[in-house]
Structure 1
Amino acid sequence: MSKYEFMKMIELEECKDRIVYRLISKVRNYEYLKNTPSEEYLDLAVVFYIICHIDENGIESIKIDDRFFKGWGVSTGELMELAKVNTPKLFPVRLESMSNTLSKLLGSDDELPEDPGMMVLSNSSNIFGATSVLYETSVDDIVGHFGENFYMIPSSVHELIFVPEGIIANKAILDDTIKQINESTVLDEEILSDRSYYYSRQDKRFYF
């Protein structure tokens, strides 16, 4: 790509159909967020990227930092509106049962024992799939599936796990388990949060 092609690509009118958002940890990205436009979601941060290329080998993207942001003269709200439209188109939601996810990971066509209603939310690329919770109908779809209050477990920036309220005995124990798994298993840059989030159907919101 020539320098001219690159500069054209990052002009707002040229890239506005490829601006997407990603959900990351606010606490773990304190320095990163100092020079980056962002919005809050719960205690997390929504940041923005330009998608340059997507294929079976991966995704090429450019972070939208203050250089672009100030040069474009737009608000974070305007970036959010663009990303709300573009992200679900470029990265369609994937919502499936935990048993189905495990079958795919194991490369098995055999049916695994039924899980107690646990659901996994990601996107078609399985990259920054936790962002899918921001899509317009994602939470409503999960509410419809469970028919009761539920917990959201931040498995990583790539996926979220949802479990019905009835199978969680103690939120404090759940949060401690999440923290232990993050410390022992998840890469630092892929950790989304050390706590779970409780969704109330009556209030139509998450609590943490």
Structure 2
Amino acid sequence: MEFDIFVEKVRTLVEKIAKERNMEVRVNAETVVKNNGCRLKCLSIFARGSNVSPSVYMERYYEQYNNGRMLQDIVEEIVDSYGDRREQGRLDISKFTDYDSVRDFIIMMLVNRELNSEMLTNAPYIPFEDLAIVFRWLAVKSPESIGTSLVTNRDIRRWGVNVRELYDIASENTRRLFPEHVENLVSLLMRQYGIDVKKDGMAENNPEKDPEKDMYIITNSYYTNGAAAMLYPGVLARCADMLDGDIYIIPSSIHEVLFVKAGNEVDAKDIIECIILANKNIVKKSEKLSDNLYIYRRREDKVEILK
């Protein structure tokens, strides 16, 4: 079954089964442009009287279908998931036109500038080396989901604010709503995935052995769009102080960056090769941040691409 036919079949069945369960819904199939220009097909499920719609991306379900998963099973999972989330209710989008109503929920995100060049023609941003700091309005924030909308040039004209003012408020809001999280990478793997550093051959990176030789992660408390956490005032300075020197910043993805002590028996060329390979083979296209390696120079309090 071709992908577009699959999407339409799922859309029809989701609408049918939802109505059989007394859910009055309208289901639309839409193409959504995501980060880095990625276009994804999704189902938007609207309840009566609601202008909030969860986006159900179809690519992974199509892959599951081609691997033998039953169509009915996929449809029922989507309907069940929607039933669990529909209590989000109605969102007053009209508030978005009033700056005083949204200013406390404007946040920032770090993206690749070249890969998002089309989007940036219509959105305010601040260049940051080969990256761009963009701004989003936080519409939904819960343990299960985060919903945001891109702030456009039209929005800031309506609000009567400039990009610098937007950055100042977004920097404050993002740190308040999504506090930074800095942790030894091995400790994170041990805590989240139960990896035994001795058993899995990473004992040389044991955080209790030599902190200055370890790799660390900078993200936020939600582990989502956390690369921007390195922009919070004082974060990079604190990280450099931890390792008592300049640090290499590795753009792991839009969700986090990694850092190690610069020049600490680490070959920058090897790191750059690893970044490029990871972006090519592991990191999702929509989550890629950069192929470059950065250095934070502690004395100058400055980030730059390492060339």
- Do they fold alike, i.e. is TM over 0.5? yes
C-alpha distance in structure 2 between counterparts of 1:191 and 1:105, whole Å: 23
Matched, 1:16 2:103: yes
Matched, 1:129 2:216: no
Tell me what 1:167 maps to. 264
Kept in 1, the 8 Å contact 2:220–2:229? The answer is yes
- Please give the secondary structure, in 1, of the residue aligned with 2:115: helix
User: Structure 1 residues 168 and 188, CA, compared in 2 at 3 Å: closer, same or farther?
Assistant: farther
- Which shifted more, 160-169 or 30-39? 160-169
> Which consecutive aligned stretches of 4+ in structure 1 deviate over 4 angstroms post-superposition?
1-4
- Gapped runs of 5+ residues in structure 2? 1-49, 52-89, 208-212
The structure with the larger Rg is: 2
Within 5 Å, give how 1:181-196 maps onto structure 2: 181-196=278-293
Q: Report Cα offsets for 1:130-159 as digits up to 9, x if no partner.
A: 000110121111011010111000000000
Q: Report Cα offsets for 1:30-73 as digits up to 9, x if no partner.
A: 11111010011222100001111211111011110122122112
Kept in 2, the 8 Å contact 1:154–1:160? The answer is yes
C-alpha distance in structure 2 between counterparts of 1:106 and 1:154, whole Å: 22
C-alpha distance in structure 1 between counterparts of 2:225 and 2:116, whole Å: 15
Considering Cα pairs closer than 8 Å and 6+ residues apart, tell me whether 1 or 2 has the greater RCO: 1
Q: Normalising by structure 2, what TM-score? A: 0.64
Match of 2:254 among 157, 162, 168: 157
Kept in 2, the 8 Å contact 1:49–1:62? The answer is yes
- Gapped runs of 5+ residues in structure 1? none
C-alpha distance in structure 2 between counterparts of 1:4 and 1:97, whole Å: 39
User: Structure 1 residues 95 and 4, CA, compared in 2 at 3 Å: closer, same or farther?
Assistant: closer
Match of 1:117 among 214, 218, 222: 214
Aligned-pair identity in percent equals 28
RMSD between aligned residues: 1.9
C-alpha distance in structure 2 between counterparts of 1:180 and 1:188, whole Å: 13
C-alpha distance in structure 2 between counterparts of 1:98 and 1:164, whole Å: 14
C-alpha distance in structure 2 between counterparts of 1:150 and 1:75, whole Å: 33
C-alpha distance in structure 2 between counterparts of 1:134 and 1:160, whole Å: 11
C-alpha distance in structure 2 between counterparts of 1:145 and 1:199, whole Å: 13
Cα displacement (A) at 1:191 = 0.6
Q: Normalising by structure 1, what TM-score? A: 0.92
Kept in 1, the 8 Å contact 2:97–2:158? The answer is no
- Please give the secondary structure, in 2, of the residue aligned with 1:203: coil
Within 5 Å, give how 1:43-62 maps onto structure 2: 43-62=130-149
C-alpha distance in structure 2 between counterparts of 1:131 and 1:186, whole Å: 17
Match of 2:152 among 54, 59, 65: 65
Kept in 1, the 8 Å contact 2:237–2:301? The answer is no
